[in-house]
């Protein structure tokens, strides 16, 4: 599979939908500009592409999960805007550009993040051709993955652990909440929208859990070994902020081995799927091979 072409195809499909999201004059101009600034900054769009690849694996059209994909990218972007704030990680760069608060000020950056989170759930109400009960379940799952029981809760655990040496079990809990939850839910929610069987959903759930943790471990490695050009932000920010990482606990080689093991676990989980799941297989490998 030509992964670059595969990613470009779905990234373009998503970007077109994102750009049309805030055309309405009902959104105050400066707020709309701040929201679009971070949405247009690029990025890998891994979460939406995972949703599209899951639909593909189940023989469904990507349009079926487009609102889900858009919502997830909005939630991810909201989290990045708030992560970069002085009260959090105090970063100057994101995706190679000045962070939102550096351009629009802290107050507007906070509001832009708030608005993106709310807008994500507005977009989810536009899901069509799905049983209402399924839509409610997907909204529930996305809320859990992004809120206190998922990403936001994980960020608090990460703050609480700052400056402390964690065990691998403690660090895994942080990573599964902070990063893993919002990487697993594109797979599981997309599977539900596309009518996955109980057995298929169980396999895809295991796949999503493994790639979600592998992604964060790969980020830990990149924070040490990458360059500003590759990762789009300052190198070593985790160490500067006294964050515990898998590199601290296992070393670079140990962290890489752990991530590779998780990718193998993900591939094993979906081995019963046919060639339509090759996108998921390629994405699992990409997660630990990427440079940014």
∠ CA(77), CA(80), CA(82), 5° rounding? 110
The Cα–Cα gap between 104 and 132 comes to: 39
Q: Residue 146 has what pLDDT?
A: 98
**Which domains are delineated in the chain?**
3-289 (1.10.600.10)
DSSP output for the chain:
--HHHHHHHHHHHHHHHHHTTT--TTS-HHHHHHHHHHHTT----HHHHHHHHHHHHTT--GGGGHHHHHHHHHHHHHHHHHHTSTTTT--SEETTEE-HHHHH-HHHHHHHHHHHHHHHHHHHTT--SS-HHHHHHHHHHHHHHHSTTTHHHHHHHHHHTTTSPPPHHHHHHHHIIIIIHHHHHHHHHHHHHTT--HHHHHHHHHHHHHHHHHHHHHHHHHHHH--HHHHSS-TTHHHHTT---HHHHHHHHHHHHHHHHHHHHHHHHTTTS-GGGHHHHHHHHHHHH---
Point out which residues pair with 98 in neighbouring strands.
93
Q: What pLDDT, on the 0 to 100 scale, is given for residue 195?
A: 97
Spell out the long-range contacts of 257-263 with Cβ–Cβ below 8 A and sequence spacing 24 or more. Answer: 258/217, 259/214, 259/217, 259/218, 259/221, 259/287, 259/288, 260/288, 262/210, 262/211, 262/213, 262/214, 262/217, 263/210, 263/211, 263/214, 263/287, 263/288
- What local confidence, expressed as pLDDT, does residue 290 receive? 83
**pLDDT tens series, the chain, 292 aa:** 888 899 999 998 999 898 777 666 788 999 999 999 999 987 889 999 999 999 999 999 999 999 999 999 999 999 999 999 999 989 999 988 999 999 999 999 999 999 999 999 999 999 999 999 999 999 999 999 999 999 999 999 999 998 887 788 999 999 999 999 999 999 999 999 999 999 999 999 999 999 999 999 998 998 888 656 555 555 556 666 667 889 989 999 999 999 999 999 999 999 999 999 999 999 999 988 887 6
pLDDT given for residue 231 in this prediction: 53
> What is the reported pLDDT for 197?
98
């Amino acid at each position: 599979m030509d992964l670059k072409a595969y990613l470009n195809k779905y990234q373009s499909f998503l970007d077109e939908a994102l750009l049309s999201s805030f055309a309405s004059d009902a959104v105050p101009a400066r707020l709309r500009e701040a929201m679009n600034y971070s949405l247009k900054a690029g990025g890998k769009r891994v979460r939406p592409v995972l949703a599209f690849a899951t639909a593909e694996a189940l023989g469904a059209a990507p349009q079926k999960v487009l609102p889900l994909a858009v919502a997830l990218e909005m939630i991810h972007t909201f989290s990045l805007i708030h992560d970069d704030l002085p009260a959090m990680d105090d970063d100057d760069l994101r995706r190679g550009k000045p962070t939102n608060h550096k351009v629009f000020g802290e107050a507007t950056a906070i509001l832009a993040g708030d608005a993106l989170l709310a807008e994500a759930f507005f977009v989810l109400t536009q899901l069509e051709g799905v049983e209402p009960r399924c839509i409610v379940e997907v909204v529930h799952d996305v809320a859990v993955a992004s809120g206190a029981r998922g990403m936001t809760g994980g960020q608090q655990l990460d703050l609480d652990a700052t400056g402390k040496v964690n065990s691998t079990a403690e660090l895994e809990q942080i990573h599964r909440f902070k990063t893993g939850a919002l990487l697993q839910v594109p797979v599981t929610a997309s599977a539900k929208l596309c009518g996955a069987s109980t057995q298929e959903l169980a396999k895809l759930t295991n796949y999503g859990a493994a790639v979600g943790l592998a992604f964060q471990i790969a980020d830990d490695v990149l924070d040490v070994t990458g360059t500003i050009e590759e990762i789009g932000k300052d190198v070593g920010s985790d160490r500067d902020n006294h964050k515990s990482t898998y590199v601290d606990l296992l070393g670079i080689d140990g962290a890489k081995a752990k991530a590779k093991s998780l990718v193998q676990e993900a591939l094993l989980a979906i081995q019963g799927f046919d060639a339509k799941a090759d996108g998921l297989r390629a994405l699992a490998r990409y997660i630990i091979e990427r440079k940014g």
